[in-house]
Amino acid sequence: MQLAAIVISLVTFVIGTALAARAAMYIFRVVRTGQSDPTRFGQPAQRVKTVAVEFVGHTRMNKWGVVGVAHWFVAVGFFSLVLTIVNAFGQLFDAEFALPVIGHWMLWQLFVELLGTLTTLGILTLMVVRLLSLPSKSGRKSRFAGSIAWQAFYVEYTILGIGLCITMLRALEGALAGVDSYGPEHLVSYPIVSALSGLSHGTLENLVYFFAMLKICISFAWATTIGLNPSMGVAWHRFLGFFNIYFKREEDGGTALGALRPMTSGGQPIDFEDPADDAVFGVSQVEHFSWKGILDFSTCTECGRCQSQCPAWNTGKPLSPKLLIMSLREHAFGKAPYLLAGGGKDMEGEERATAEQLKDVPAAALAEAERPLIGTAEENGVIDPDVLWSCTTCGACVEQCPVDIEHIDHIVDMRRYQVMIESSFPTEAGTMLKNLENKGNPWGMATKARLDWVKELKKETGIEVPVIGEDIDPAEVEYLYWVGCAGALEDRAKKTTKAFAELLHTAGVQFAILGKEESCTGDSARRLGNEFLFQMLGAQNVETLNAALEDAPKKRIVATCPHCFNTIANEYPQLGGHFEVIHHTQLLQHLIDEGKLVPVNPVEGLITYHDPCYLGRHNKVYSPPREIMDKVPGLRQQEMHRHKERGFCCGAGGARMWMEERIGKRINTERVDEALSLNPDIVSTACPFCLVMLSDSVNGKKNEGAAKEHLKVVDVAQLLLDSVKATPPAGAEQPETVDA
């Protein structure tokens, strides 16, 4: 028995180790087929700290309650119990073998007992969770829909088998040592020790040889399996996750949200005024992704957290962030033999490799290389266009991913090629782009229309809003109010703009606007994929802002639109524009705290707040809107099921505001249905896009008789104004609200 156990174990060990090591090198070579990215190496100490915090603290996973705790024990046990494999090898040669120094140390034995047991219980918990949410039962609602089931179950049964072997070996060690009472060394395994106590010494030794062999064989059969399947993300993420987190986009450890990365070619930002002759615009082939992108694809564990939170997937659309990443991974590894042999095509589609270089490339890899990255099923495309254009860039996928995959960056990179090179995108979005180019706003309205709300406000309240440099000196301005296209031109959003301006006036804040000098920030153009147009609009705005605020004591800007807020604060620094930018809810909360705005008039009713994605997830502004509503007398707040970090998109982001929603349920309808489940009197938000999308859906619900006629959709600023303003005289109109 002992000899057989030794031979089988050593053969399994050698084969498993060799294959796993070969696969690890292969993954490294595949990742290197991506483009260079020199931005991933700064602040190494901070990056190491980020890895430690995310792994030890399980900062993403623990947001999922019991699943996070169970996974923590499995993940920590996987690495910290590796010495039990060493111990098992020793037991093959001597059944009573113990590790030198620590082998008989009570604390080590207690650690193995507890962590081995908790790892086993953890994996059993994860298996139950998976079994309760099988795609065969839950369909699209299962976050495991589309995941490779056999791989996940194989990994789980492997960990379960190893955990049981650890417990059994601990019990056999106790039986061999003649343990006859409970103690910390056998805190969990003592009942088995007691059951084994009647067996002979020889039988116990043979059982040690068997279970040591079983533990080793299970471990290295797993190594063999992953060695033969280098794209098996559910297994390889255990190793690749550390690297993926270390090389994440943000050096300070933040998620890849907020700003988009500049468009690069060969790892260097493209100079749109003088692009290189060989510059690659966007991603049209998998090797155009950076090496970090291919590492992202390789690291995906198929857990489906991104999928479960994705507004597109939850409303019947074909986009699942998980399935998109999996498709890119399988394509990258399928095409890898061709790329590693030197294969590749230039922008004209000409093959760069010689026939001699490609002669040994498998036919399957050559066929994979011919697939278009973006294309319909009929075209054998890797990513369907409907998948690509369903994304709202809400950031739910990036927020939830436990291994820091940067889904939005990859989606936008693919969009960039489609828009800038192929001119292939939803036709209605083309109207928006033309309007931005010609009129500086997505509606194509005349520039002078940007001041219509100013005239309306003066007529309604007598308040005059100054234009910086014309009506007021920049040195006198505390805040430059960036109104935004929607805030200046869209009727419902204009009510928020006027309410905010009136509140600033009431609080005695010296503010001014740019007026006709203001132009679209380019948010929608950039997220649609038209980087050139964004660069043009952004450079123009940065120049305008720098000139307007040159003499201001501080370059402080306040914006009511989270998209404008995000672009000016996070993306304009890429263009040389460095400003202090806050959202209007942040400023209003500050003014309330200072006593400059005092909500006194009750606004009665049950209210639920919708978190705008670009205010919440992208910029972590969750408290100010809620604190403002807390200060308004009469309001009773109730959160929707999906809120804050797990808030559900309105459907307007990622330039979806300008595209028709033809597949599945409308995202704004899904969100309003969730709000209506609370039977609110008011739905509030803090974004003009959200205001438009939610009020459109509420209007539709009213027409169907599915919503109360008095239900209103309002911006937080409008609520505050209702409470701050003196009660109007009888017969006067109520303060501005959106009568949805």
What is residue 362's DSSP assignment?
-
What is residue 567's DSSP assignment?
I
Cα–Cα distances in angstroms (integers) from residue 131 to residues 67, 141, 142, in the given order: 13, 14, 10
Q: Which of these ranges, 59-73, 305-319, 586-600, 665-679, has the smallest mean pLDDT?
A: 59-73
Using the structure block, give the residue that is written with the tokens 């490339």: 361
Burial class (CB in 10 A: 0-12, 13-18, 19+), 452: middle
Q: What is the pLDDT of residues 495-553, one digit of tens each?
A: 999 999 999 999 999 999 999 999 999 999 999 999 999 999 999 999 999 999 988 88
User: Strand pairing of 605-609 and 682-685?
Assistant: parallel
Residues constituting the chain: 740
In angstroms, rounded to a whole number, what is the distance separating the alpha carbons of residues 713 and 687? Answer: 11
pLDDT at 274 over 50: yes
In angstroms, rounded to a whole number, what is the distance separating the alpha carbons of residues 503 and 493? Answer: 16
Q: Amino acid letter at 423?
A: S
pLDDT in the model for residue 1: 83
Average pLDDT (22-48) is 96
Under the banding of pLDDT at 50, 70 and 90, the label for residue 726 is low
Cα–Cα distances in angstroms (integers) from residue 122 to residues 30, 160, 165, 299, 524, in the given order: 33, 9, 15, 22, 44
Q: How many CB atoms lie within 10 A of CB 731?
A: 5
Per DSSP, the three-state class of 16 is: helix
Nearest to 334 by CA among 361, 360, 296, 357: 361
Cα–Cα distances in angstroms (integers) from residue 421 to residues 244, 282, 348, 622, in the given order: 30, 8, 12, 38
pLDDT in the model for residue 183: 87
Average pLDDT (18-46) is 96
Under the banding of pLDDT at 50, 70 and 90, the label for residue 732 is very low
Distance of alpha carbon 106 from the chain centroid: 44
Under the banding of pLDDT at 50, 70 and 90, the label for residue 64 is confident
Encode 419-434: b = buried (16+ Cβ within 10 Å), e = exposed: bbeeeebbeebeebbe
CA atoms within 13 A on the CB side of 594: 10
pLDDT in the model for residue 737: 46
pLDDT > 70 in the chain, percent = 98
Under the banding of pLDDT at 50, 70 and 90, the label for residue 740 is very low
pLDDT in the model for residue 728: 53
pTM across the whole model? 0.93
Nearest to 458 by CA among 496, 493, 492, 505: 505
Nearest to 84 by CA among 219, 205, 206: 219
Kindly report each contact of residues 11-15 with a partner whose C-beta sits within 8 Å and lies 24 or more positions away, as own/partner.
Answer: 12/216, 12/217, 12/220, 12/221, 12/224, 13/89, 13/216, 13/220, 15/220, 15/224
In angstroms, rounded to a whole number, what is the distance separating the alpha carbons of residues 112 and 98? Answer: 13
Burial class (CB in 10 A: 0-12, 13-18, 19+), 126: buried
Average pLDDT (415-443) is 95
Cα–Cα distances in angstroms (integers) from residue 532 to residues 391, 416, 421, 429, 526, in the given order: 20, 9, 11, 16, 8
* Secondary structure (DSSP) of 201-255: HHHHHHHHHHHHHHHHHHHHHHHHHHHH-TT-HHHHHHHHHHHHHHT-S-TTS--
Rounded to the nearest 10 degrees, how much is the dihedral formed by the CA atoms of 290, 293, 299, 303?
Answer: 180
What is residue 728's DSSP assignment?
P
Q: What is the pLDDT of residues 165-185, one digit of tens each?
A: 999 999 999 999 988 888 888
Q: Which two tokens stand for residue 36?
A: 């260079």
pLDDT at 738 over 80: no
Average pLDDT, whole number, for the chain? 94
Encode 300-324: b = buried (16+ Cβ within 10 Å), e = exposed: bbbbbbbbbbbbbbbbebbbbbbbb
* Secondary structure (DSSP) of 68-126: HHHHHHHHHHHHHTTHHHHHHHHHHH-TT---TTTTT-HHHHHHHHHHHHHHHHHHHHH
In angstroms, rounded to a whole number, what is the distance separating the alpha carbons of residues 124 and 161? Answer: 11
In angstroms, rounded to a whole number, what is the distance separating the alpha carbons of residues 118 and 168? Answer: 14
